Amino acid sequence: MANFGYSLTKSSRIDLNNRNIEKWNRLVELEPDVLKCMACGSCTASCTAGKFTKTSLRSAILYLQNGQEKEALEYIQSCLLCGKCFMVCPRAINTRHLLLSISKIYSNR
């Protein structure tokens, strides 16, 4: 195949009919407030770790909803559990507790 010096990027299309959301359903059972998230991004904007890493609870929640576990965990692996996002969340989601539950359910350890 000819090398044109560029390539097509991998499709980011998600097949919503075939996503694996078993763990997401377990998370919702444990943390029903996660359904209140309106993806406003306040948590990400105020995140202590976000200034130095790609930490974003908002992105993590969106990826988890789509069954994209690996991508989601990348966005919270550097979380310091400081709880700052809890103070700014307009939906009063206990984000710190949510982060711990995500770790509990999605951790392979």
The footprint of ligand SF4 on residues 40-69 (CB under 6 A) is 40-43, 47-50, 55, 57-58
Q: What kind and span of H or E run contains 58?
A: helix 57-65
Cα 12 to Cα 15: distance, rounded to the nearest angstrom:
10
| Smallest gap from residue 17 Cβ to ligand SF4 (A) | 25
- Among residues 18, 26, 65, 60, the alpha carbon closest in space to that of 43 is found at 60
Q: For ligand SF4, which stretch binds (CB under 6 A), given 3-11, 12-20, 65-73, 93-101?
A: 93-101
Asked if 35 interacts with ligand SF4 (CB under 6 A), we say no
Q: How many residues bind ligand SF4 (CB under 6 A)?
A: 28
| Smallest gap from residue 29 Cβ to ligand SF4 (A) | 18
List interacting residues with ligand SF4 (CB under 6 A).
Answer: 37-43, 47-50, 55, 57-58, 79-85, 89-91, 93, 95-96, 99
